[in-house]
Amino acid sequence: MANIIDGKKISFEIKDEVKLQATELEKKGIQPCLAVILVGNDPASAVYVRNKKKACEYCNIKSLSYELEESTTEEELLELIDKLNNDKNCNGILVQLPLPSHIDENKVLLKILPEKDVDGFHPYNVGLLSIGKAVLKSCTPAGCIELLKRSGVEIEGKNCVVVGRSNIVGKPVGMLLTAENGTVTTCHSRTKNMVDFCRNADILVAAIGKPKYITGDMIKEGAVVIDVGINRGEDGKLCGDVDFESAEKKASFITPVPGGVGPMTIAMLMKNCVAACKSQNGL
Ligand code: NDP
């Protein structure tokens, strides 16, 4: 039976470290500040935003909240970002995605100053990530790496298979694993014989968005399994992209859903806020 990687516990370790750094900054008269912008009434987004505010409180990070009407125009949103870009007291800007369809997501993400892009989605930061020099790393992928490291899993020299190639998860996870000297294969919907790749993985990261898609028979005995997926199963319960029940019989380490990668995303966001604040203050 696999060791269960406790993402909740590890996320609190990180938040406690962030809180300590924020307290050190406070002694210098600086308080890190995150602006969170929500457009519209998507209930899931509202929950994410609430959780981000709660994490800020826990870490002693000031949070500014902008809850805008669904009818907000792209121009109005860009104006707000411009204002926050120019506000010296605001260190991080996060626009909760998805945005209403009349707003161009790409235009909005490009508007955020790279040094305030605490989600790590700006192409400039993605570029830095690809050359191993990013200060602000995309939160969920960075969270996956922290889970591995803090569980004592060595990445160097391992066969790492990432299923999924999205810009926000699959691609950056692959880049980070490469930076840690893993040998990375990326699979996607057009991959032929994906099962063979998966069965060869020492470290398997699933970021597909399909409930319980990766089953125990696709996993090598003793592999480490990181499940990024957040889905609703047929029973209506939250589940990952990995069939936990069969996978945990094969894996040496595995993340559960919920309680694995999920809590890490916000913890890494907090880490980015403090990193952004420090770098903007020349520290
Ligand atoms: P996307 O839909 O953007 O990407 C899914 C990827 O999976 C694509 O690259 C797609 O391939 C690939 N894929 C789809 N079907 C298959 C298949 N049958 N075989 C192989 N590959 C396949 O999703 P995201 O990357 O945004 O998210 C993935 C999952 O992670 C979702 O469940 C999401 O909810 C979750 N998530 C969790 C977060 C967290 O905080 N824990 C944060 C972000 C996401 P192709 O490119 O060819 O279409």
| 265 CA: nearest ligand 1 atom | 40
Question: What is the arithmetic mean of pLDDT over 82-95?
Answer: 98
Q: What is the pLDDT, as a whole number, of residue 173?
A: 98
Q: What are phi and psi of 13, to 5 degrees?
A: -55, -45
Q: What is the pLDDT, as a whole number, of residue 154?
A: 98
Q: List pLDDT tens digits, range 6-47.
A: 999 999 999 999 999 999 999 999 999 999 999 999 999 999
Question: Within a 10 A sphere around the Cβ of 249, how many other Cβ atoms?
Answer: 13
What CATH architecture is 30-114? 3-Layer(aba) Sandwich (3.40)
Q: What is the mean pLDDT of the chain?
A: 97
Q: Whose CA is nearest to atom 41 of ligand 1?
A: 262
Q: What is the pLDDT, as a whole number, of residue 104?
A: 98
Pairing of strands 33-39, 3-4: unpaired
Candidates 6, 15, 21, 96; catalytic one: 96
Question: Residue 188 Cα, ligand 1 centroid: separation in angstroms?
Answer: 9
In the β-sheet with 33-39, what is the strand arrangement from edge to edge?
Answer: 62-68, 33-39, 92-95
Q: What is the pLDDT, as a whole number, of residue 50?
A: 95
Domain ranges of the chain: 30-114, 139-262
> CA 7, CA 264: separation in Å to the nearest integer?
6
| 190 CA: nearest ligand 1 atom | 47
The answer to whether the CB of 228 is under 6 A from ligand 1 is yes
Q: Do domains 30-114 and 139-262 have the same CATH topology?
A: yes
Helix %, strand %, coil % of the chain (to 5): 45, 15, 40
Local confidence band at 97 (pLDDT 50, 70, 90 cut-offs): very high
Candidates 15, 52, 158, 250; catalytic one: 52
119 catalytic? Reply is: yes
Q: Whose CA is nearest to atom 17 of ligand 1?
A: 189
The answer to whether the CB of 209 is under 6 A from ligand 1 is yes
The answer to whether the CB of 258 is under 6 A from ligand 1 is no
> CA 6, CA 225: separation in Å to the nearest integer?
13
Question: Residue 172 Cα, ligand 1 centroid: separation in angstroms?
Answer: 12
Q: What is the CATH number of domain 139-262?
A: 3.40.50.720
Rg over alpha carbons for the chain, rounded to the nearest Å, is: 19
Q: What is the pLDDT, as a whole number, of residue 51?
A: 95
pTM over 0.95: yes
Local confidence band at 240 (pLDDT 50, 70, 90 cut-offs): very high
Question: Residue 261 Cα, ligand 1 centroid: separation in angstroms?
Answer: 14
Is residue 198 within 8 Å of residue 163, measured between CB atoms? yes
Q: What is the pLDDT, as a whole number, of residue 7?
A: 98
The answer to whether the CB of 186 is under 6 A from ligand 1 is no
Local confidence band at 135 (pLDDT 50, 70, 90 cut-offs): very high
Residue that wins the pLDDT comparison between 198 and 234:
198
Q: What is the pLDDT, as a whole number, of residue 266?
A: 97
Helix axes 139-150, 7-27, angle to 10 degrees: 110
